[in-house]
A and B are shown apart, each in its own frame.
Chain A
Amino acid sequence: MVITEEMAERYSRHFVLKEIGVSGQKKLLQAKVLVIGAGGLGSAALMYLAAAGTGVVGIADFDKVSLSNLQRQVIHGSGDVGVDKTLSAEKFISRLNPDVRVILHNAKMTVDNIQSVISGYDFILDCTDSFESKFLINDACVLSKKPYSHAGIVCFEGQIMTYVPGKGPCLRCLLGGVPPRDGSITCSSAGVLGAAAGVMGSLQAIEAVKYILGIGDLLVGRILRFDALKMQFSEFDFPKSDSGCAVCGANPKIRSLADNRAEYEGTGCM
């Protein structure tokens, strides 16, 4: 991998970091990271991954940009309303950094396609907006032995953790399964502060970069919660996975995604 003069200037603030340097930048330029969901979390994550010179950035989304997205989904602009989110995000990234190759997955991730999509990537970001999708991604990553960053955000609060195969609990260890729907909170009534989603998405991009570079301490075996109103971060230690976990445990009930199709096929957004 040749570092051009333009790259040397673009990434000069990375080069001076001893944890990154030229060799770390080369790793980033050869890394493949998939972002599932180009919404509130995904916007920030995609922008920072692209700016950092992640060699291949995959974007998986099946939605189109709407005006009500723009309050938080800052990778899209007013002129993109009605356009596929994947295309709109790609347009932003290509303007930001031509070193990044963008791969579009303009489809809903399902039991039938997700494992083949994630197989081409080194690290995955769950930036989706439903527990059904979050469990689909979790189980796919566990079964395919892929590391990924989980995050969620509603109103002013969010949480983030990182799964690395064999190193700590997965989302299913922690929650058991998709929580039943709460009738009082619906897609349209649940608000979210845009910048709070941006904080969580930025944290996910940091985890991806650290994983690629092998630096620092990942959020494996611990959950970081952010409360934007109190302006507090709290950390919760969950160092051990659950040996009875239905997907990563000693005797897993879910041996293929198809075994568990119904749980992933809810329709709401919470």
Chain B
Amino acid sequence: MVKVNGVQLNIDGKTIAEYIKTIQYDIRRIAVERNGNIVPKSEYDNVVLKEGDSLEVVGFVGGG
């Protein structure tokens, strides 16, 4: 299980990019942190989520 924004999800084995595709977030406008470290966008395809990982995923809007 992987904790995403405090909720346990069964997404072990997926890459960050694969997980993001399953939710409504726009991948270009989010920030992702894994186990306390920001994941650069270039790593979304490479980082495979593991049992016990903790993710923070937050969307940004640009209006004012």
Contact = CB atoms under 8 A, between A and B. Distances in A.
Interface residues of A, number: 44
Interface in B26-42: 26, 28-31, 33, 36-38, 40-42
Given A180-B28, A223-B58, A236-B58, A242 B64 contact: no
B62 A152 contact: yes
Nearest to B58: A236
Main secondary structure of the interface of B (DSSP, over half): mixed
Interface string B40-64: 1110000000000000111111111
Contact of A129 (B26, B37, B41, B62): B62
Contacts, number: 93
Contacts of B5: 234, 236
A240 B64 contact: no
Nearest to A151: B64
Nearest to A268: B62
B40 A244 contact: yes
A179 B29 contact: yes
A153 B64 contact: yes
Interface in A141-162: 151-155, 157-159
A8 interface: no
A37 B62 CA distance: 13
A190 B62 CA distance: 11
Given A180-B28, A223-B31, A234-B5, A269 B63 contact: yes
Given A173-B38, A238-B33, A192 B63 contact: yes
B36 A128 contact: no
A269 B62 CA distance: 8
Contact of B56 (A153, A237, A241): A237
Contacts of A129: 62-64
A175 B36 contact: no
A41 B63 CA distance: 9
Contacts of A239: 36
B63 A190 contact: yes
Given A223-B31, A223-B58, A176 B64 contact: no
Interface of B: 5, 26, 28-31, 33, 36-38, 40-42, 56-64
6 contacts: A159-B61, A169-B38, A176-B42, A182-B28, A223-B58, A238-B31
Closest 3 CB pairs of A and B: A129-B64, A174-B31, A154-B61
